[in-house]
A and B are shown apart, each in its own frame.
Chain A
Amino acid sequence: MPAATSKSVYWQGVRAGGPFILVVVPFSLLFGVAATEAGLTLAQAMGFSVLVIAGGSQFAALQMMVDQAGIALVLLAALAVNLRMAMYSASLAPYLGTAPLWQRAVVAYTLFDQTYLASITAYDAQPAMSIRDRFDYFMGVATPITPVWCAMTAVGALAGTAIPPAAALDFALPITFLAMVAPMLRSLPHLAAAGTSAVVALVLNGLPAGTGLLIASACAMAVGVLVEKRT
């Protein structure tokens, strides 16, 4: 889209990020509820969502704290869950590596599954995008997601146990991750990589938090490239 102005690129990003509100609302609500149940104050729950701003690791840290694990183990488990974001960071580097440092820092702060997936999809589809447009697009995707994430954590922490378990909010995360990945399964190498990832992660599920996923991801990337060579 060479004629697009920076403003319209930003709004394209906002539109791409919009559907993820459906994901983020239940997930952040649930974190607020779980944090209160675990005995955290509202400020502490907000501290997690505003400063750490990574749902999976927030839940992992909370679970370890409820289990009375040592602080080192809490940190290790939560950071391991976030290691996949190093892969996202590496995958974005060729597209955003020449942006000004402050922009790269802002991208890093708002780099979650949803912003990464929506942005990398757009960068792949429009290789001619300028660095500036790529940054604007990324910010556009983050715009609807980030404030909702923080606000709904507060609502969850305040509403606490008023939300019935029948709402099955626990399954919001798997559904939305499947929804994100399904449209990407457009070629045999992608299918093979996805299958490898799922199977290896299931087999290695007993390993400490996050390690099985890292091994599964590495295997899946290798399988993707190998299958690509044969087809």
Chain B
Amino acid sequence: MTGYGTGEIWAIIAILAVGTFLIRFSFVGLIGNRPMPDLVMRLLRYTPVAVLPGLVAPLVLWPAATGGDPDAVRLIAAGVALAVGLWTRAVIWSIVAGFMALYAGLGVAALLG
């Protein structure tokens, strides 16, 4: 990465740090305890389920590791993590199961390939 000087890299880091903090601080810091309209509160209740699936869906379907091509092993691992999470309602078991499926799948793929 030759295009950036040391000063430029630190400038990027500093601006990102300040900008990211301001994004995080925005509502909790500035709006404080002013009451928000009922509809806003109802919309906000869906924040986690509205953000995470959209974040994760492209990563599952078009993983960077395969150059963006769908990968059976990663699709299965994602499906296992989701299914175990739905079944056990426990984050930790879902993560463990997802990784086990991923490594088992990669192992099988290596043997076949």
For this complex, into which size category does the number of interface residues on chain A fall? 35 or more
**One of A23, A177, A189, A225 near B52 (C-beta < 8 A):** A177
Complex contact B81–A225 (CB within 8 A):
no
CB distance from B80 to the nearest CB of A (A): 9
How distant is the Cα of A111 from the Cα of B51 in the complex, in angstroms?
Answer: 15
Q: From DSSP, what is the main secondary structure of chain B's interface residues?
A: helix
Complex contact B54–A216 (CB within 8 A):
yes
Complex contact A65–B1 (CB within 8 A):
yes
**B32, B57, B85 pick with most chain A CB within 10 angstroms:** B57
Interface contacts (Cβ under 8 Å), in number, total 288
Complex contact A181–B49 (CB within 8 A):
yes
What are the residues of chain B within 8 A of A82 when measuring CB–CB? Answer: 19-20, 23-24
A85-B24, A221-B47 known; A180+B52 contact, CB < 8 A? yes
A128 CB-CB contact with B under 8 Å: no
CB distance from B113 to the nearest CB of A (A): 12
Complex contact A171–B86 (CB within 8 A):
no
What are the residues of chain A within 8 A of B102 when measuring CB–CB? Answer: 168, 171, 175
A83 CB-CB contact with B under 8 Å: yes
CB distance from A98 to the nearest CB of B (A): 4
What are the residues of chain B within 8 A of A120 when measuring CB–CB? Answer: 47-48
Complex contact A170–B63 (CB within 8 A):
yes
Residue of B nearest to A16 (CB): B91
CB distance from A72 to the nearest CB of B (A): 10
What are the residues of chain B within 8 A of A4 when measuring CB–CB? Answer: none
- The segment from A5-13, A146-154, A195-203 that touches chain B is A195-203
**One of B29, B77, B92 near A105 (C-beta < 8 A):** B29
A sample of 30 inter-chain contacts (CB < 8 A) reads A56-B55, A57-B20, A71-B11, A85-B24, A86-B26, A89-B27, A89-B29, A90-B26, A90-B28, A91-B47, A92-B28, A93-B27, A108-B24, A171-B74, A175-B77, A175-B78, A177-B56, A178-B94, A179-B92, A179-B95, A183-B90, A195-B53, A197-B51, A201-B57, A202-B61, A205-B62, A217-B50, A221-B44, A224-B45, A225-B39
- Interface, chain B (partner A; CB < 8 A): 1-4, 8-17, 19-21, 23-29, 31-36, 39-65, 74, 77-78, 81-86, 88-92, 94-96, 98-99, 102-103, 106
